[in-house]
Amino acid sequence: MRSPRLRFPVLVALLAVLPALGLRGGASAAVDPPTAAEAESVLAAAEADLLALWVARDRAQWVQSTYITGDTEAIAAAANEAAIAAAMRFAKEAVRFDAVDLPLPLRRKLDLLKVALTLPAPSDPAKSAELARLAAGLEGAYGRGAYCPGEGRPCLDLGELSKRIATSRDPAELAEAWAGWHAIAREMRPDYVRFVELANEGARELGFADAGALWRSKYDLPADAFAAEVARLWEQVRPLYEQLHCYVRARLVEEYGSGVVPPDGPIPAHLLGNMWAQSWGGVWDLLAPAEAAPGIDLTPILRAKGFDEREMVRSGERFFTSLGLDPLPETFWERSMFTKPRDRDVVCHASAWDIDQVDDLRIKMCIEINEEDFQTIHHELGHNYYQRAYAHQPPLFRDSANDGFHEALGDTVALSVTPKYLRRIGLVESEPGADADLSLLLRMALEKIAFLPFGLLVDQWRWQVFSGEVGPEAYNEAWWKLRREIQGVAPPMPRGEQEFDAGAKYHVPANVPYTRYFLAHILQFQFHRALCETAGETGPLHRCTIHGSAAAGTRLEEMMRMGISRPWPDALEALTGTREMDARALLDYFAPLSAWLAEQNRDRQCGWR
């Protein structure tokens, strides 16, 4: 999945940088008891100092991600270390004001300071520097990752291996590509063990049991209540996922035989068309319903129309301007990375950036001219427009209402990339008839519904690792236990503890929390329904586009402008009229497909051992 470079980073800080930047110490003279005036002074210092550090950090991270070398990793580590050291300092100071009666904006800023860090660093400067090096090194190892089979065969990077996973139908070739990529994580394992130790030490200094507890405390709910909320949402959508899994497994048995795909067991991960089996659209040719019209295949249309990488992005920008939002700044086009350079290693994982937190907006992406990247671009620009909308807020409020909102906003926009939208912008002459809806919905489910358990389990694994419930001696066993139990997916071959298969997913070595993507897959349908109603769309939800609706654009921007200045239920209510995350909009969107899947699976044994 894609992720913006959010306000509160994943890495750690270099204390020696602070004096060089001319920053104030942040700690106020001791006053007993602390006062509201003192809290206001501390927050003013925090916002000024942190903003300077965030900008320096993001510039360094941009260079590291677009030009991976040992030097750029070291520079990024130093800048990240500086940002987190300051954030740790202010977070500890914020605790002093817990009992002070404060105006709500000040109280919220102090609370955000305490839970803002994704990877808190220990106070010990040596350990802080060590954590910085580990974090930069882990992400760099992922970015350099490649499978080199030897015997005169060329090395293959993730993009090339992913294409093979999506297009080959030879189980042996698929297993080789899958194992080849996952092998790149082996070297990360010892560094990740130490990484967890240091992250937990930093979290405990802030009063949390471990880093996972800190992560779960970011959602305007107690940590345990948030975990229960995630479990509730999963139970809403689990039956639909199990029906989809049952249908897909049966079709794969038809293709590969029961000796390769167990008819009543988990699906082998290498057969699902995606390196992590998190989306299954790559095997559409094996799953397409024979009785349904095929719908639109956008990839050959884009190529026939002569689209290049910049025109793909221009199309996304025109979607937002059709809502009444301003065009992107000229610097966006000058400074973004749209293609993979030929001369160096880069992190191709798509991401959206707001370097100066004002208008230096960028995307980083190795764009391919295909349907998936056309939608991804709309998603990434959603992040950029959200970032620009809340840029007027004080620095501590420059973020989405919760991290799921940022991802949901981008995906909400992508949901409007419907046949109606494609007709409006001249990519197709007419919309397919209702007989194509089944194909449209199944294609969408292979991306959206198939993702849900994976979006859930990545952090379930990390929470167990951070808490110590799972120790280093059982990292891989625990990873595959969750994948079997929650996702119904198994590895293509035995996997021992010398492997570190979780590390083959970008967000683990990069330390990007993942529950945000699960939440986003719930929220985006709530957002989509509310905006479609605002736009006056009356047809089926899966055919709606908000393209061209100034009313929808106004409502969307009003929510985005709030940033994180208010608890997320306030932002949700502003956009949707409800204060509770709920999967009913998702279930309504896929209701016709759900009924069809139930009929297809009527005589099948669903679920898995």
Strands (E), 257-313: 267-268
Place of tokens 């802080």: 128
Burial of 607: CB neighbours in 10 Å, binned 0-12, 13-18, 19+: exposed
Considering 350, 401, 414, 574, which one is annotated as catalytic? 350
Q: Which two tokens stand for residue 360?
A: 């230096």
Q: Which of 272, 266, 301 is nearest to 286 (CA)?
A: 272
Considering 380, 447, 499, 537, which one is annotated as catalytic? 380
- 380 has catalytic annotation: yes
- How does DSSP classify residue 526? H
CA distances from 475 to 63, 190, 400, 495, 501 (A): 32, 11, 32, 11, 9
- 485 has catalytic annotation: no
Across-strand partners of 489? 267
Considering 38, 93, 407, 533, which one is annotated as catalytic? 407
Considering 383, 528, 542, 547, which one is annotated as catalytic? 383
Element (H, E) at 156: strand 156-157
Q: DSSP characters for 366-378?
A: ---SSHHHHHHHH
Tell me whether the omega of the peptide bond preceding residue 266 falls within 30 degrees of 0, making it cis.
no
Considering 517, 533, 537, 574, which one is annotated as catalytic? 517
Q: Which of 284, 321, 317 is nearest to 299 (CA)?
A: 284
CA distances from 188 to 415, 432, 462, 504, 515 (A): 36, 48, 15, 9, 22
Backbone phi, psi, residue 433, to 5°: -75, 180
Question: Who's near 59: CB < 8 A, 6+ residues apart?
Answer: 79, 355
Considering 270, 349, 521, 542, which one is annotated as catalytic? 349
Relative orientation angle of helices 515-534 and 403-415, to the nearest 10 degrees: 50
- 349 has catalytic annotation: yes
Across-strand partners of 361? 354
Considering 182, 406, 507, 542, which one is annotated as catalytic? 507
Residue ranges of alpha helices (H) inside 292-367 are 298-304, 309-322, 330-335
- How does DSSP classify residue 361? E
Distance (Å, whole) CA 551 – CA 531: 9
Across-strand partners of 146? 157
Place of tokens 């003279």: 29
Considering 182, 245, 270, 379, which one is annotated as catalytic? 379
- 383 has catalytic annotation: yes
Instruction: Report the catalytic residues.
Output: 349-350, 379-380, 383, 407, 507, 517
